Amino acid sequence: MFCYKVVSVTFISAAHGQAIISDKVTFGGTLRSMTSEGLSNLARRIREVIEAQSVVHRCSASIDFMEKIGRPYPETLNDDGMYMHVKRVGDSLLGEHNVHLSPPVMGAEDFGFYSQIIPSAMFWLCIRNVSVGSYHSLHSPHFFLDENALPIGAALHAAVAVAYLESQASRFH
């Protein structure tokens, strides 16, 4: 399977001013991959390139992926059984035409930590409603939440939980 990887340099910091050549530059950003293995390979390759380039240019470099501050985000994988459970409940509650499979995305997501421990399925509540101005993406400064979608999301989450507990009830009797 081909694994897409993305490196985003999101900041560069150095001394500034006219006719100043800084003796130190700091830059950073994010790494994204569809798999944890891809993320590890990407970090390893970035380290190799930076270390080699520092030798070529006769300077020093240090690389800090900030693992001491927090673990890198793992991939978020839906458990097949849990995915089918959520899809069945969603189809029943909202109608099949309102439940769509989301393509994989390379976002860093806390939910990935849960999916490493318990069977999980991450799903999105789509809130696009052009008539009230709710059409910008989540990280846009223009994002606006159509709060009329919240009861639908709450009902879906509750229905998924109740149906799951009912399906597991025989295990506890």
Which tokens in the block code for residue 74?
A: 């793992």
- CATH architecture assigned to 80-170: Orthogonal Bundle (1.10)
Average pLDDT, the chain: 89
Instruction: Give residue-wise pLDDT tens across range 125-159.
Output: 888 999 999 999 888 999 999 999 999 999 999 99
Q: Where are the CATH 1.10.150 domain residues in the chain?
A: 80-170
Buried residues in 88-119 as b, exposed as e (16+ CB within 10 A): ebbeebeeeeebeeeeeebeeeebbeebeeee
Instruction: Give residue-wise pLDDT tens across range 89-123.
Output: 999 999 999 999 888 877 778 888 999 899 999 99
